[in-house]
Structure 1
Amino acid sequence: MSGPEMIITNAKVLTMDEDNPRAEAVALSGGRILAVGSREEVEALAGPGTRLLDAGGRTLLPGFVESHLHLVLGGNELSQLQLGGVHGFDDLARLFRDYAAKNPELPLLMAQGAAYEILDHPVTRQDLDQVIADRPIAMMAPDHHTVWANTAALKAAGILHGAAMPPGHVVVMGSDGTATGELLEFEAFSPVLALTGDLHLQLGIATGGEPDPWPDAAQRAKDKQKVAAGLAHCAMHGITSMVNMDGNRYTCVLLKEMEQEGRLTARVKVPFHFKPHMDLTELDRASAMAAEFQGEWVTSGFVKMFMDGVVDSRTAFMLHDYPGTTERGAPLFEAERFKDICTEIDRRGLQIAVHAIGDGAVRQTIDGYEAARLRNGPRDSRHRIEHIELIDRADVPRLGALGITASVQPPHPPGAMDFPMSTMDHVFHRHRWKDAYLTRTLAEHGAHLAFASDWPVTDVSVMRGIQAALTRKPYEGCQDERVGLMEVLKAYTAGGAWAAHMEGLTGKLRKGLAADLVLIDGDIESIPAEQVGRTGIALTVAGGRVTHDPSGMAEGAE
């Protein structure tokens, strides 16, 4: 065989390479990009074994980089009951009972995507007992920070009468001395999730620990099936690289085994999860993971932390009281200790990613990064803040000044995609709406942007995310926080790759980089913004391998 393995031609190629921003064709060979240029020059490279794909004028982009998702959790949840968009007791009961009838063997009937407003009052275990009383059932909020469980589930989990919890994690108790059914944060609801038998998949985000005992080959095979389901779901949406925001060494081992088995269809970066109770010596595990996993498909090298919870449950840490309350949430790390932790992680040459939603959490995170830089000296650290749902204006320029990446999610602002606008009134003072869910303002002050979905918190569809970014309406009396199409596409490709220290491998269509590409089913520059989310993915290629081809265009090519 001579010539490139595949040429995609007659395309509107947006390379995200500032030195060569547009082209018509791309040639692939050996998992790498062989050439990017005009139809004439690239087609001239074709040999007798080359597959020639006519893109028909569609847009060809670098494969999407999903900068913040939960691959294993998302893959696991694909088989659970989905409650997105469901409202009212009747629909809730009908769906749960149907799911129960179809799954008589499940030890826990688990549902995902239950809106905080799913009933016209706060959900209790008694509400869920009326749905199903004789089997354990539970449902997770879209943000994955609250679970509601029925009495049978609370009994089976051993928490009906409460349980001691670390700060920020709450088994909510009623006046009768028993649990109400509402469980806030991981430690509180992990005893319920454990009923499924797959809690070991949650350890990366729940405790930062490893499975004990280590899963045997049969269990790993089951777990890899869940990962494979998640990977296939992501490939359908053009994703070729992802930053997994939970995980541990076990996650890396599963992914590495899948790579060796030829089943890994995206590049995955996995963190070490540092929890508040841990001693700094635990970071030896983070360094070990970074050293063990540094190939082109499975990497580590960063540490994830949670600074706070979420706004809906008022566990996000605010500088001021929530509307109508004296609550502010609380940081999960003490400020000075957090500076020491950041300094040690940075000293080891590892990247830091911190979940920070409230303006108090965002400030404390920036303070930690600033302390690390002052103590260790500046380096190309690319530390990141995940979410940034509210930020004090004084802190906005600090991201750019410190080289911090704003890892934000276009589907998250209420009203932009699936989350209801009602959240805004509950948790943000009106005069602070102008400081909520900033994108353009952060970019204009020098912050690097990386876009994502936080799947399974929201739909992983990048096209829907692009639409949300392009069509988001300014809140009443507030500035427009949208960035332009090219900036949006960059934040889903080259920007995400840079933020993950992967720019030498992927994120642009440039000769020598990985053959990671996505072909949009249309010309993205001419599709009306409000229709982008309905635009399909015609082809996904990761490392030169076709991972999604709904119409068989790559199979029929010669």
Structure 2
Amino acid sequence: MSQTADLIIRNARVLTMDETAPKAEAVAIVGNRILAVGGNDEVMALAGGSTRVIDAKSATVMPGFNEAHMHIFMGSLSLVQLNLHAVHGFEAMKSAILDYAANNPDEPVLLAYSADYGILGELGPTTRHHLDAILPDRPFMMYAPDHHTAWANTAALKLADLLHGRDVGIGNEVVMGEDGLATGELRETNAITPVARLASTGGREGLGIATGGDPENLTPEQRAVDRAILKRGLEYCASEGLTSLQNFDGNLYQLELMADLEAAGELPVRIRIPFHMKNFMDLSMLNKAAQWKKRFASDMVRGDFVKVFMDGVIDSQTAYMLDGYGDRPDYDCEPLFTAEAFDAVATKADSLGLQVAVHAIGSAAVRQTLDGYEAAIKANGKRDSRHRIEHIEIIHPDDIPRFKELGVVASMQPVHVPGGSCFPLEPTVTRLGEDRWKYAYAWRTLKDAGARMVFATDWPISPVSPFECIQNALTRKPWRKGDPDQRMTLQESLYAYTAEGAWVEFMEDRKGKLKPGFLADIVVLSQDIEAAAPDRVADVRPRITICDGRITHEAP
């Protein structure tokens, strides 16, 4: 006797991501699994009296999106912070900041995000003096879109004891002015955190990046606030069609909050959270990561990989480069790990069966990471490790074939490309140097060289919408005539956001595709995405999101 479906989606243009049966008309679900995928008539034969039937109205139905690189706590908090994206000029910035301050009278430190590096235009780089002219009496700090640079006013610098500078470690900087006082520009986490932790959340949203550690002396009330912030952020992700999140800062606190939400039946998306290996940690700390992998191993919450930062970003010149910067050829910056230290981390983590994922933006950082993965292979033998490099915004041509040779995954964010929908060309393209443009944000180049590739947004660095990200992958234009065409196809982009995302998590046997027996992670779109013009893909919306067989979002 055949099973009766709990839910059927019919009249759909189903994209299964299953190469053996790539398209269908209907999908049936029972419990948290896919019961059947096929034609309307054969699937409707599984309907019973209590089966809910959804008419897709010829829109696309596909596996739920897998966001392969994001920061859930910071992203969730950004939903209530001041968003300065697309704000340009002093007067516009002033108006936005003053309105936000008036609406948040009790916030001890006002925080904004996505402030462009050139937000003040002809006034030049932002300083504390510009911010003081807007808000002299209340501590205020705004993050650059990449969250690797922030600008604070004098009140915030004084409160955090940064006005007279401070040693904040390799690759981090409190930028100082000719007057011997801080300019207000703070580069990288160690410089930014002293201000962030004075805000109402105590900076807990950044602990997974700053220290990898957990909050101390936490009250039940503070934990309840954090849980509510995260729950709201997770629900927002579900509303964008996401069914899986791969978080890229980690601590035990976040994992335990996610496990608590799972136990309460309140977790609307699957999530994996890493152990964040910092350069001040002893190698023995990786044993803790191995323990997390065993403890958090459900299909909803997993703590099964290691995150490492190798460098910063191009715009603030904290990325580790080969042969300097375009506008500063004698300066390479320094990596956050020495080659010897990272080789040891990669080798130890690999020996414990842990996947490693490294933030590496500069060409030297990418090379040093590849070298570390090669050292792990030499020490431990080759295995199906699926180690990753995150971002890869500039690569030396000699390192392109090494991704396929070493089996390293390229984790990339098309929405980050300068001149795309989110970020301006400058200062990035000048700092890269024109002679290196052909090897910048080189998705197609890496893909054609045999690299396995996943896509993501790095939320809140850019909006979490997969559709905007995909549109950038489809429509990118070269910065000059003769540069490589880095555009991806729609099918490649959707695959990178679904099946390939499941593969990089070692879950390709049960999610990322619509096929019988797989987990019921499905998104019903507002239209046929294959019929959308490439420059209109961002207009596509999720109509219904289903995770683990439960409807987690349904548009009005």
- Please, what TM-score do these two structures have when normalized by structure 1? 0.97
What code does the residue aligned with 2:510 have?
L
Distance 1:430 1:170 in 2: 27
Alignment of structure 1 residues 302-313 onto 2, 5 Å: 302-313=305-316
- Out of 217, 221, 224, the residue aligned to residue 220 of structure 2 is 217
Q: In the alignment, is the contact (CA less than 8 A) between 2:322 and 2:363 conserved in 1?
A: yes
Q: In the alignment, is the contact (CA less than 8 A) between 2:109 and 2:200 conserved in 1?
A: no
What code does the residue aligned with 1:271 have?
P
Q: Does 1:372 align with 2:376?
A: yes
What code does the residue aligned with 1:78 have?
L
Distance 2:386 2:304 in 1: 12
Distance 1:421 1:429 in 2: 12
Distance 2:262 2:177 in 1: 49
Q: Does 1:286 align with 2:286?
A: no
Cα deviation 1:315-334 (Å, max 9, x = unaligned): 01110111232221211110
Give the match for residue 118 of structure 2.
117
What code does the residue aligned with 2:54 have?
L
Q: In the alignment, is the contact (CA less than 8 A) between 1:3 and 1:48 conserved in 2?
A: no
Distance 1:2 1:368 in 2: 50
- Please, what TM-score do these two structures have when normalized by structure 2? 0.97
Secondary structure in structure 1 of the residue aligned to 2:502: helix
Q: In the alignment, is the contact (CA less than 8 A) between 1:68 and 1:242 conserved in 2?
A: yes
Q: In the alignment, is the contact (CA less than 8 A) between 1:2 and 1:48 conserved in 2?
A: no
Cα deviation 1:478-497 (Å, max 9, x = unaligned): 01111211111000100111
Give the match for residue 438 of structure 1.
442
Distance 1:93 1:219 in 2: 31
Secondary structure in structure 2 of the residue aligned to 1:195: coil
CA drift of 1:79 comes to 0.4
Distance 1:485 1:114 in 2: 31
Secondary structure in structure 1 of the residue aligned to 2:186: strand
What code does the residue aligned with 1:85 have?
A
Give the match for residue 168 of structure 2.
165
- Out of 492, 516, 525, the residue aligned to residue 520 of structure 1 is 525
Secondary structure in structure 2 of the residue aligned to 1:34: strand
Give the match for residue 238 of structure 2.
235
Cα deviation 1:198-251 (Å, max 9, x = unaligned): 2123111111112223x3432221101111121122111100001000111111
- Out of 455, 473, 477, the residue aligned to residue 473 of structure 1 is 477
Give the match for residue 321 of structure 1.
324
What code does the residue aligned with 1:142 have?
P
Q: In the alignment, is the contact (CA less than 8 A) between 2:78 and 2:113 conserved in 1?
A: yes
Q: Does 1:530 align with 2:535?
A: yes
Distance 2:381 2:327 in 1: 43
Secondary structure in structure 2 of the residue aligned to 1:341: helix
Give the match for residue 510 of structure 2.
505
CA drift of 1:77 comes to 1.4
Q: In the alignment, is the contact (CA less than 8 A) between 2:326 and 2:432 conserved in 1?
A: yes
Cα deviation 1:338-360 (Å, max 9, x = unaligned): 11110000000000000000100
CA drift of 1:197 comes to 3.6
**Mean alpha-carbon deviation: is it higher for 366-375 or for 500-509?**
500-509
Distance 2:439 2:459 in 1: 24
Give the match for residue 345 of structure 2.
341
- Out of 154, 157, 175, the residue aligned to residue 154 of structure 1 is 157
Q: In the alignment, is the contact (CA less than 8 A) between 2:429 and 2:437 conserved in 1?
A: no
Distance 1:151 1:426 in 2: 30
Secondary structure in structure 2 of the residue aligned to 1:362: helix
What code does the residue aligned with 1:33 have?
I
Distance 2:378 2:79 in 1: 44
Q: In the alignment, is the contact (CA less than 8 A) between 1:114 and 1:142 conserved in 2?
A: yes
Distance 1:404 1:363 in 2: 12
Cα deviation 1:381-410 (Å, max 9, x = unaligned): 000000000000000000011111100001
Distance 2:186 2:517 in 1: 50
Secondary structure in structure 2 of the residue aligned to 1:411: helix
CA drift of 1:2 comes to 6.9
Distance 2:255 2:429 in 1: 41
**Mean alpha-carbon deviation: is it higher for 284-293 or for 346-355?**
284-293
Distance 1:447 1:416 in 2: 23
CA drift of 1:125 comes to 0.8
Give the match for residue 184 of structure 1.
187
Give the match for residue 403 of structure 1.
407
Cα deviation 1:132-184 (Å, max 9, x = unaligned): 00110110000000110000001111111111211011111112221110000
CA drift of 1:422 comes to 2.2
- Out of 277, 300, 309, the residue aligned to residue 274 of structure 1 is 277
Q: Does 1:492 align with 2:492?
A: no
Distance 1:186 1:428 in 2: 23
Q: In the alignment, is the contact (CA less than 8 A) between 2:418 and 2:429 conserved in 1?
A: no
CA drift of 1:424 comes to 3.9
Give the match for residue 546 of structure 1.
551
Secondary structure in structure 2 of the residue aligned to 1:483: coil
CA drift of 1:419 comes to 0.6
Give the match for residue 104 of structure 2.
103
What code does the residue aligned with 1:431 have?
D
Secondary structure in structure 1 of the residue aligned to 2:401: helix
Give the match for residue 10 of structure 1.
11
CA drift of 1:499 comes to 1.1
Cα deviation 1:351-389 (Å, max 9, x = unaligned): 000000010000000000011011100111000000000
CA drift of 1:426 comes to 2.2
Distance 1:472 1:229 in 2: 32
Give the match for residue 144 of structure 1.
147
Distance 2:326 2:460 in 1: 28
Give the match for residue 207 of structure 1.
211
Give the match for residue 194 of structure 1.
197
What code does the residue aligned with 1:148 have?
W
Q: In the alignment, is the contact (CA less than 8 A) between 2:360 and 2:391 conserved in 1?
A: yes
Distance 1:274 1:208 in 2: 7
Give the match for residue 556 of structure 1.
none
Percentage of identical aligned residues: 50
Distance 1:299 1:424 in 2: 35
Secondary structure in structure 1 of the residue aligned to 2:424: coil
Q: In the alignment, is the contact (CA less than 8 A) between 2:415 and 2:462 conserved in 1?
A: yes
Q: Which runs of 5+ in 1 are unaligned?
A: 552-558
CA-based RMSD of the aligned residues comes to: 1.2
Distance 2:94 2:128 in 1: 13
Number of equivalenced pairs? 550
Q: In the alignment, is the contact (CA less than 8 A) between 1:140 and 1:148 conserved in 2?
A: yes
Distance 1:340 1:166 in 2: 21
Secondary structure in structure 2 of the residue aligned to 1:355: strand
Distance 2:371 2:26 in 1: 46
Give the match for residue 177 of structure 2.
174
Q: Evaluate the alpha carbon distance shift between residue 463 and residue 324 of structure 1 in structure 2; reply closer, same or farther with a 3 A threshold.
A: closer
What code does the residue aligned with 1:547 have?
T
**Mean alpha-carbon deviation: is it higher for 76-85 or for 228-237?**
228-237
CA drift of 1:423 comes to 3.0
Give the match for residue 459 of structure 1.
463
Q: Does 1:358 align with 2:362?
A: yes
Secondary structure in structure 2 of the residue aligned to 1:525: helix
CA drift of 1:548 comes to 1.1
Secondary structure in structure 2 of the residue aligned to 1:167: coil
CA drift of 1:505 comes to 2.6
**Mean alpha-carbon deviation: is it higher for 268-277 or for 168-177?**
168-177
Give the match for residue 76 of structure 1.
77
Secondary structure in structure 2 of the residue aligned to 1:110: strand
Give the match for residue 554 of structure 1.
none
Cα deviation 1:286-319 (Å, max 9, x = unaligned): 1111111000100011000010000000001110
Q: In the alignment, is the contact (CA less than 8 A) between 1:128 and 1:149 conserved in 2?
A: yes
What code does the residue aligned with 1:180 have?
T
